[in-house]
Structure 1
Amino acid sequence: MNTPKPGPPSGAEGRARRLPRAVVAVVLGLWLAFVICWELACPLSDAGVVPDLATCTGFLLAVLVLVGWLRSGLLRELRRAKEVARAAQDVLLRPLPARLDGLALAAGRLSASRGASVGGDLYEAVATGDGVRVVIGDVRGHGLPAIGVVAALLGSFREAAHDEPELGGVLRRLERALQRNLRERARDERPASGGADPDSPLTEEFVTVLLLEIRQDGEVLALNCGHPWPHRLGGTAEEVAAGEPLPPLGPFPLPAELPARRCLRLLPGELLVLHTDGAEDARNANGEFFPLREVLGRTAAARPASPASVVERVQDELLRHTGGRVCDDVALVVLRNDRLRVPAQPGAQAVAARRPCPEPSRR
């Protein structure tokens, strides 16, 4: 029998919970008013030392209690706001499953905005009939506008990955979602246009996107729009590239033909590391870039490596390199091919050869 979860408090319950705070506020306000009236009615020049000390002590106690009470209330509200924001961020950029269609996955993110875990980076992975499709992208800028673009692109990808038979169709759906978001933002920023679409809505906005399709045999197809290429981790770390990338989404329309390019064949046990440019562009106090390939190489040498351990090590090294503060959003997605090829059992063919054929049925 399932126990029903408690729902939100009703109006009467909410008023009952707020009542003690109101009582405390009224009592403290009356006490403060009393102390002020006492000070005005009994000046220090006419009062003795003991009344003066008592008055000052009472006044300070009232102020301290009032400040402490207000501070505790603000801290509670801040904790609630953080919990709501964290829940909303997890819904927007939800954690990847640990396993997906024979692949082990892990992801991590570092936001350049203080107090936020979601910025302008996005990633998602879904299992489809054509294989596991993965997207990782980087929206120009930070803050609420970038988060709005992330929400639009992720929502479009989660539907298009199942509906479109080719990666090119998925990419076109992402482009249309981005254009709709930019037009809506332009109308909100310039409402005097009367609801008509602006001529050039936010032409400086763009998104880098990398789309991957990992098939059952380990073959990886890719479409890249200005995004960094991934790294493959076997015994070493090597960057995987499949030609010149397309321009980022936004400033230029996509070409008429979008054939997905064969990127590599991910063998069982090998890992694929996807990242945004914030990982390579991070600098330390001396202006030195983060050595991502060297870190991945050391990680690959320390086999066996799991996707979660790769994400954790790269993030730790990145924060150590930058002194605990990143200047750009960083997203990492690590995949490992855990699909095993079962070899043919020895003697299976001989057993099948010795098996007698069924006799024809007699009528």
Structure 2
Amino acid sequence: MIRTRSLAVDGSRFRRLAPLAFPTAWGAVAVAWKFGCPLARQPGLPARIATSLVFLTVGAGLVLGISRGLVRELARVRAVADAAQRVLLRPPPARLDGLTLAAGQLSATRGAVVGGDLYEAVATPYGVRIVIGDVRGHGLGALGAVVALLGSFREAAHDEPELAGVLRRLERALRRHLRERAREEHPSRAGSEPEHPVAEEFVTLLLLEVRADGRLAVLNCGHPAPYRLGRRVDRLPVGEPLPPLGAFPLPDALVPYSAPRLLPGETLVLHTDGAEEARDRRGRFFSLDEELGRPSREAPAALVRRVQAALLRHTGGRLTDDVALLAVRNDRVRVPAQPAEPGLRRPRPAPSPHC
């Protein structure tokens, strides 16, 4: 196994150096020509021009070979990073227990697929459970908290019968992550003060449970309320907000807010605050409610793409905060009770033997 790994490493190094083989060989020929050819040692102008052209060609070949190798290496690294980020913040399934879902993420960090926003939806025996959150700050520096919260949610959503239990698990996971980060970033260990102290980190978060009959249970930790798209566009009531996770301990009593039912055909649009705080060059905020209120019968995926495109147009492609969108449409159909076919009569119950 060790020999196989060594051969693989040697092969990888050979592939990286392969683009430099031709310019290096050409350079060796140029040096040999310079010092071994009598014409190259003549003091005349034609000889100097020929020598300069040879070495210019060698230099251009070396630069081209190195740049091509770097471009290929960058493409490989970017492909691996994109794959890792998409595993972390995977897109939700298109259909989940009668609901149609779609999500999208815009990162403020150039070249990143994900940032400090998170979302997930899973079908459980207690209903479809959804989380959306926003870690303080943005970009790749917030990925640690995103990893901790998503990993905890994906387990707790199936294990905990009560939505309050899921939130408790998320709080414990975030606390563990912050303790570990505090140890790693301590000046005695890291050698410098952290850019974003752990004491200042918190997460706004919204937990939502969609039950089989469309009833909604909500726990909101300082996160923007979602929009409901039905006959009109309005905010879904989510009750009194709890403190963001990490800022203060959760209260002893956690009672989910019972929101109005999500009726068949209605859509919920969950979002992070970057969607409503995005500004254009004049400092004007993006009007998310107006964009959602445009008359349309789009599927959730088309709705998310349209809002993302409108956001990028409004900001000119210069986002200052991450933006996450999650659209959930109730496509469950209640089948009415079917009447008995004409001509068929219910059988009479058998007479009691005591009659």
Report the TM-score when normalising by structure 2: 0.89
Q: Distance in 1 between matches of 2:139 and 2:325?
A: 20
Which residue, 84, 91, 112 being the options, matches 2:87?
91
Alignment of 1:57-76 (within 5 A): 57-76=53-72
Cα separation, 1, equivalents of 2:347 and 2:18: 89
Q: Equivalents in 2 of 1:24, 1:87: separation in Å?
A: 26
Secondary structure in structure 2 of the residue aligned to 1:346: coil
* TM-superposed deviation, 1:345: 1.6
CA distance 1:290–1:53, shift in 2 (3 Å): same
Matched position secondary structure for 1:203: helix
* Residue number among 138, 142, 163 corresponding to 1:142 in the alignment: 138
Report which stretch shifted further, 338-347 or 165-174: 338-347
C-alpha distance in structure 2 between counterparts of 1:118 and 1:131, whole Å: 27
Call closer, same or farther: CA 1:295–1:192 in 2, change over 3 Å: same
Aligned match of 1:355 in 343, 347, 355? 347
2:325 is the counterpart of 1:332: yes
Flag the 1:238–1:23 CA change in 2: closer, same or farther, 3 A: closer
Q: 1:170 to 1:17 in 2, by over 3 A?
A: closer
Structure 1 position 113 matched with structure 2 position 113: no
Q: How does 1:132-171 map to 2 (within 5 A)?
A: 132-171=128-167
Deviation at 1:55, TM superposition (A): 1.0
Aligned pair partner of 1:178 in 169, 174, 183: 174
Distance 1:281 1:135 in 2: 21
For the residues of structure 1 that align with 2:16 and 2:218, how far apart are their CA atoms? 58
Closer/same/farther in 2, CA of residues 338 and 22 from structure 1, 3 Å limit:
closer
Q: Distance in 1 between matches of 2:243 and 2:216?
A: 21
Q: 1:291 to 1:350 in 2, by over 3 A?
A: farther
Counterpart for residue 20 of structure 2: 25
Matches within 5 A, 1:276-287: 276-287=272-283
Residue among 180, 185, 189 paired with 2:185: 189
What one-letter code is carried by the residue in structure 1 that aligns with 2:23? L
CA deviation string 1:259-291 (max 9, x = no partner): 001122000111000000000000000100000
Who is 2:239 aligned against? 243
Inter-partner Cα distance in structure 1 for 2:272 and 2:207: 13
C-alpha distance in 1, partners of 2:134/2:22? 53
Output the CA distance in 2 between the equivalents of 1:297 and 1:277: 18
For residue 7 of structure 2, what is the amino acid of its counterpart?
A
- C-alpha contact (below 8 Å) 2:209/2:217 kept by paired residues: yes
Shift of residue 356 of structure 1? 4.5
Q: Which amino acid aligns with 2:296?
A: A
The equivalent position to 2:289 in structure 1, one of 289, 293, 298, is: 293
Residue of structure 2 equivalent to 1:311? 304
Matched residues in 2 for 1:312 and 1:18: separation?
Answer: 42
Post-superposition Cα deviations, 1:143-173, rounded to whole Å, max 9, x if no partner, equal: 4441000000000000110111111111111
User: Residues 283 and 17 from structure 1, CA distance in 2 versus in 1: closer, same or farther, beyond 3 angstroms?
Assistant: closer
Count of paired positions: 342
Give the C-alpha shift of residue 360 in structure 1: 8.2
> CA shift at 1:227, angstroms?
0.2
Shift of residue 307, structure 1, vs aligned partner? 0.6
5+ long unaligned stretches in structure 2: 190-196
1:49: Cα distance to partner? 2.8
Shift of 1:95: 1.1
Which segment drifts farther, 169-178 or 338-347? 338-347
Structure 1 residues 257 and 347: CA distance shift in structure 2, 3 A: same
C-alpha distance 140-24 of structure 1, shift in aligned 2 (>3 A):
closer
* Kept after mapping to 1: 8 A contact 2:35/2:41: no
Contact 2:269 2:325 in 1 (8 A): yes
Instruction: Give unmatched runs, 5+ long, in structure 1.
Output: 1-8, 194-200
Write the mapping of 1:39-78 to structure 2, written as runs, cut at 5 A.
47-78=43-74
The CA RMSD over aligned residues, in Å, is 2.6
SS at match of 2:199: coil
Is 2:293 aligned against 1:302? Answer: no
**Residues 3-38 of structure 1: CA distance to partner in whole angstroms, max 9, x if unpaired?**
xxxxxx864355356446646635534643664687
Q: Distance in 2 between matches of 1:21 and 1:148?
A: 32
Residue aligned with 2:324, SS: strand
For residues 94-131 of structure 1, what are the alpha-carbon distances to aligned partners after superposition, in whole Å with 9 as ceiling and x for unaligned? 11000011100000000000110110000000111110
Q: TM-score, normalised by structure 1?
A: 0.87
